[in-house]
Amino acid sequence: MNFNIKLYSIKSERRFLWFIVLLIQVGCLFSQKLNTIEEVTAKLQNCKADTTRVNLLIELSLIWDLTDHGKSFNAAAEALSIAQKINYKKGMAEALNNMGSSAQGLAEYSQALNYYKQLEDSAVKWNIPFFKMTAKLNTANLYRNKGDFSNASQLYFEALKWSEAENNILFRAITENNLGMLYERQGKFDEALEYYNKSMESHRLNGDTTEFSKPLIDIGNVYALTGRFKEALNYYLRGYELNLLLKKKDGVSSALNNMAIVYFELGDKNKSLEYFRRSLQYDVEMKEMDGVCNAYSNLSNYYLQINDLNRAFIMADSSLKIALNYRILPSIKSAYSMLADICYTQKKFEEAYDYSQLFSSYKDSVLNETSVKQLSQLQSFYQTEKKEKELLIKEKEHEKDVAEIKSQNAWKITFATGFILMLLSAFLIFRGYKQKQRANNELTEKNKIIEEQKGQVEKQRDLIEEKQKEILDSINYAKRIQYTLLAHDQFLKDNLKEHFTYFKPKDIVSGDFYWATRQDDKFYLAVCDSTGHGVPGAFMSLLNIGFLSEAINEKGIEKPNEVFDYVRMKLTNTISKEGQKDGFDGILVCFDQKTNSITYAAGNNAPIFIQQGQLMELDANRMPVGVGERKENFTLYTIDAKPGDVLYLYTDGYADQFGGPKGKKFKYKQLNELLLAIHGKTVTEQHSELKNAFENWKGDLEQVDDVCVIGIKI
């Protein structure tokens, strides 16, 4: 039948770990109801930037994760920023965990792995083993979601050993549930049931009966996969009712999807279609892309089974497009297989063959024999190691008993001799001490004064060094966060034919930034100069990136000039209420790959365009993206580009650099002449020429501003 049973724990267990972290920090219980968004927002309005605000933002992030991962990420990012300022370690750990989980929900797997790695590194540095294992378990869940069972299984067994060594029953329950899912994927259903039941028993021991919602659905999956549909339906109904009571939308969606499959098998096709559609509705509300792909795939299979081939093709094609866009390998594989079946049924044999070839190219990415073998080896190793440890403990206890008996006999013999020698030694030491005491008293008084003065100087020196190190560590950490949000080189390579990026901050972090995103057939690239540089500039760049992302990815604004209008409005309403004129100068370019058109908006910064050996400085609005003298709307410009043309986007840092034989500015004219001279070379050579020219001009002088230059061959 090839319906996709939905594994609830793929998404829910990462949120479950959030509750563990929240339990440690704010003392809430799993059985308690979270505050509403309105309640938390109201508390935040009059809350200072302290630990209370961090905790509220973490709670807000947790609530948003049930419906909107983008807003969940933003709340966690704000919590991280405040926690770093006040050196609130638990707050930083929770925020990193939430940011990773939100990125995972948005199918941004590389970013999610990056945040989990930051959490693990920080936990090691702070010597907090729990957060280290939380990062490992979340990383394992992500690997499993991507189909990388080898890495996932290794991390799960590490987590299981740690939870047993620390007697952490809740952590053990989560890990056991995840191991059950791994065995289920391998088709080892007896082992899967064993671990699911272990997980339920661990939850029962810990008093967390509300958390039965996950293993209930997982046990139902095993029964469904083995053809025991009535038993499966019973577990699904229990899981559905419990998740509905707890308002866990992801669990409700999983239960509905799986009940739809069972009803189809039992012959109730109308109820099956109703439940598939309800499950899809929940996934769309939560913006769970892997769940949406799964729902479309199941609807496609449903229509295929009732011979409605046109609807079946539409559903499978929708699943494929979303899976390709978010790089969800299991869903890509499933969609290609479904499309091949549909085309074959339609007697479109050539298309069916093409889809089957694409399916074959992906199927080995999801599961292979090595993964199965490694999982079995790890399970065997874990059980063997556990037994060996138990035998070793018993052997050591026996040796300890024998050693104690021998020690008692030896002690009786040596005690008398030792006592006499001790008395003699004490007498000799006391006599020598009295003789030296008189001679040392005067010298001791003098040394005491010197040591006190020296100690005060060293204490002040150590305090200064510690503060300097803390500040430098915080700035370096901020750099890692900022670089995570900048456009990744691979992402640019995937969307631009040829390009180079020359990015050189004046300090460790930068007010200049380059950022990119993609929406359907439109690829957006921004090169901007935020107000200030260093730490203040970096904070502005993070805020500006957040507003750009909100405009395009959340509000769905497509035209670059309207994006700038929206960002200016957000800046004016948030940071410019007291008369500040913070914002940025910059360029936002939109490459429409469907129409092969290029549009842009520019504020106080103009693109440079070279066509047939002629350099043109393109139009721009003479106003910043923020509060300025002018308030009219930004203009939408169009570039009439042809293959071989070159587009340059830069900030003012390169042209404003002092240097050369007379210590003057480089200036825009000289920069444009340099770009014209090198535009015919490869992008790698252009990058090298720009870098060498800048360093030679600067010489031994200090860099005056952040530098950012991006070149694009059309």
Q: Could you tell me the CATH number of the domain that includes residue 60?
A: 1.25.40.10
- pLDDT for the residue numbered 366: 43
Q: Cβ distance 104 to 116 under 8 Å?
A: no
Same domain, yes or no: 617 and 660: yes
Q: Write the pLDDT tens digit of every residue in 330-360.
A: 788 889 988 999 998 999 988 888 888 888 7
Q: Cβ distance 515 to 485 under 8 Å?
A: yes
Q: Collapsing DSSP states into helix, strand and coil, what is residue 522?
A: strand
In a domain, 283, yes or no: no
- pLDDT for the residue numbered 30: 31
User: Residue 292's closest CA among 305, 279, 303?
Assistant: 279
Domain that holds residue 456: 396-478
- pLDDT for the residue numbered 178: 87
Same domain, yes or no: 555 and 616: yes
In a domain, 384, yes or no: no
| Backbone dihedral region for residue 697 (phi beyond 0: left; psi -120 to 50: alpha; all else: beta) | alpha
Same domain, yes or no: 663 and 706: yes
In a domain, 387, yes or no: no
* pLDDT surpassing 90 at residue 314: yes
Same domain, yes or no: 306 and 430: no
Same domain, yes or no: 118 and 160: no
- pLDDT for the residue numbered 641: 93
Same domain, yes or no: 418 and 545: no
Provide the pLDDT confidence category of residue 405 given band limits of 50, 70 and 90.
low
In a domain, 275, yes or no: no
Same domain, yes or no: 557 and 525: yes
Q: Cβ distance 375 to 186 under 8 Å?
A: yes
Same domain, yes or no: 295 and 340: yes
User: Residue 623's closest CA among 556, 666, 567, 672?
Assistant: 567
Same domain, yes or no: 469 and 494: no
Of 102, 131, 160, which residue is a domain's last?
131
In a domain, 247, yes or no: no
Of 456, 478, 500, which residue is a domain's last?
478
Q: Calculate the average pLDDT of the chain.
A: 83
Of 103, 131, 159, which residue is a domain's last?
131
Structural domain total, the chain: 5
* pLDDT surpassing 60 at residue 278: yes
More confident residue, 429 or 64: 64
Same domain, yes or no: 472 and 530: no
Q: How much of the chain, in percent, has pLDDT values that exceed 90?
A: 44
Determine the Cα–Cα distance for residues 367 and 184; give it in Å rounded to an integer. 13
Q: How much of the chain, in percent, has pLDDT values that exceed 70?
A: 79
Q: Could you tell me the CATH number of the domain that includes residue 622?
A: 3.60.40.10
In a domain, 701, yes or no: yes
Same domain, yes or no: 125 and 94: yes
In a domain, 344, yes or no: yes
Q: Cβ distance 576 to 597 under 8 Å?
A: no
Q: CA end-to-end span of the chain, whole Å?
A: 48
The burial class, CB within 10 Å (0-12 / 13-18 / 19+), for 413 is: exposed
- Which are the contacts of 109, defined by CB distance < 8 A and separation ≥ 6? 103, 142, 145, 146, 327
Q: Write the pLDDT tens digit of every residue in 457-506.
A: 677 777 767 766 766 665 765 677 677 778 888 889 989 989 999 999 99
- pLDDT for the residue numbered 10: 38
* pLDDT surpassing 80 at residue 422: no
In a domain, 165, yes or no: yes
Same domain, yes or no: 310 and 416: no
* pLDDT surpassing 60 at residue 548: yes
Q: Could you tell me the CATH number of the domain that includes residue 159?
A: 1.25.40
Determine the Cα–Cα distance for residues 421 and 33; give it in Å rounded to an integer. 70
* pLDDT surpassing 60 at residue 595: yes
Range list of H helices, 46-128: 51-64, 69-85, 89-105, 109-126
User: Residue 692's closest CA among 705, 680, 678?
Assistant: 678
